[in-house]
Structure 1
């Protein structure tokens, strides 16, 4: 079991709320299985319609159906989608993504800036009025550009305000822009993870560390997980790949790289509903139930 984790900026009257959110979201493991559903803004419709993608994935409700039936820690998506579908999917544990930007402007043309859409207080009031199971908030920080200072300030405020309301704070930490030569550089990823720790994040979602040959190497993730200290490192899921390969990579990230979870979207929702639920359950089994790759593959075949 993971030792009790309680940031010092959580007020006494919210300690119970925070601890409950953390315990439920990690299944008592200290690891977070984050089902990422923020791509409708980030990637427009590229991830939801096209060759090899089931037609049902084009409907936003597909992700809510998955989240309502599968084992997950939190389902991360934008406030507007939660407000549209939340009444019908009240059993889903939500994490509200507070900023997003499209990919229409290339990073080479302009340094990225993804401004905060809503305040944490707006989310807290919505949680109270709706009765939905909203456990935290998320925010993307793009390091390395001219807008870095603004996003760092927003991120610091978001983390602190989330804790004041007893909610988790997850930061997507992505170095981007003309000065970033390799987004998968293990040393750079470790630097981003360290910044997340300085911002007080509970979890940081980062890129996968690549070796010099361009292949994922879980051992290289150790620099980032150590640099993050008490901030849990989550690796992004990336593009859809073979299920067994994905599950093996996830297992190695946790047991070799010492990550504390995953942030997976396409490798779950780009499947028909029944397959998507099984894939999410398999990912949860490795992440939060400490199961083997073989056990997880059996879940896919049942």
Structure 2
């Protein structure tokens, strides 16, 4: 298995498979493992029903018992428009095919909308953990705006047998204050009812794009993660970092933005992709809240890109991958194969924590 993964990594194999993190040592992290719920969440304020559902997530799919998660997210019908998302494979206009792909792909859970999961809940809610995405950025308002709004109530997710809910906050947007309050209240209610909580900690602000796209800067995404765990997200979803120095760039020209300490860049991180991801994990309470990175858009090298992302996440100390478009924008058997390729990284014991 390691040989196949190495082949997909190509010229990046040595750098990614043999890197050692020295900035934030692995010994300081709370790493995924079969006992993660017992070790991390039993001492917390989560009630017994939340522990049950978290354990269900970790005991499902091909990664069952490993402490890692592979999740299929298909909310792009709203977030990116249904036509743009499903034109490559119209079968996924049908909600049942979304759930089938998650099952055939060996995922721990399927994440989608109230409508998608509610339409097939009686047939599938007991067969694979449901994660209901409760808010979305609809794209029909003109001009388009970055504004996540609630599409339903937590009780609806509970009634359809969901194990968890997911939500997005666009940190840095003009609507972020309202979204923080809404999602914090929503997560509290979900925990009351016994569901786990997953937060998409995304950044949205036109000012974050200048010489680089700092929406994927380690320092800014790390702080977004830290805000996410503050409102008791059990699991954080974040884009893989591609650069660093967002706070520094936004403070150029005499503006005053955020707070920084040079040691964030000189002592806690390097420019290696695994170190950048580890900084994200440090901001998730040193891994007490698991970090799952997103798989990103579909492209020409989906298998190699997905495996590379999984290797970076795993070696950094992350908890898994949540990959949608790379899987559902292709025939179902091929999509399941891609999901298996991601999972193989987490099942390969020779790929260790850096």
- Normalising by the smaller structure, the TM-score range is 0.7 to 0.9
For 1:265 and 1:282, locate their aligned partners in 2 and report how far apart those are by CA, in whole Å: 14
Equivalent residue, structure 2, for 1:283: 342
Matched, 1:186 2:245: no
**Rg larger in structure:** 2
CA-based RMSD: 2.5
Which residue is 2:97 aligned to? 62
Q: Could you give the per-residue CA deviations for residues 115-161 of structure 1, whole angstroms, max 9, x where no partner exists?
A: 1122222221332xxxxxx2100000011122211111122122222
Q: State the Cα deviation string for residues 55-82 of structure 1 (Å, max 9, x = none).
A: 4345443322212322101100001111
User: Residue 165 of structure 1: CA displacement?
Assistant: 2.1
The answer on whether the counterparts of 2:240 and 2:309 sit within 8 Å (CA) in structure 1 is no
Is the Cα–Cα contact under 8 Å of residues 196 and 231 in structure 1 kept in the other structure?
Answer: no
TM-score normalised by length of structure 2: 0.71
- Equivalences for residues 16-165 of structure 1 within 5 A: 17-25=52-60, 27-44=64-81, 45-49=83-87, 53-90=88-125, 91-104=127-140, 112-127=146-161, 134-165=162-193
Count residues with an aligned counterpart: 277
C-alpha separation in 2, matches of 1:97 and 1:16: 20
Q: Does 1:271 align with 2:330?
A: yes
Alignment of 1:116-265 (within 5 A): 116-127=150-161, 134-181=162-209, 182-211=214-243, 217-229=273-285, 230-241=288-299, 242=301, 243-255=303-315, 257-265=316-324
Large movers: runs of 4+ above 6 Å: none
Give the C-alpha shift of residue 188 in structure 1: 0.6
Higher helix share: 2
For structure 2, list consecutive stretches of 5 or more residues without a partner in the other structure: 1-32, 245-270
Structure 1: 5+ residue runs without aligned partners?
Answer: 128-133, 294-302
Structure 2 distance, partners of 1:68, 1:258, is 26
The answer (yes or no) to whether the contact 2:75–2:113 under 8 Å persists in 1 is: yes
Q: Secondary structure at the match of 2:306?
A: helix
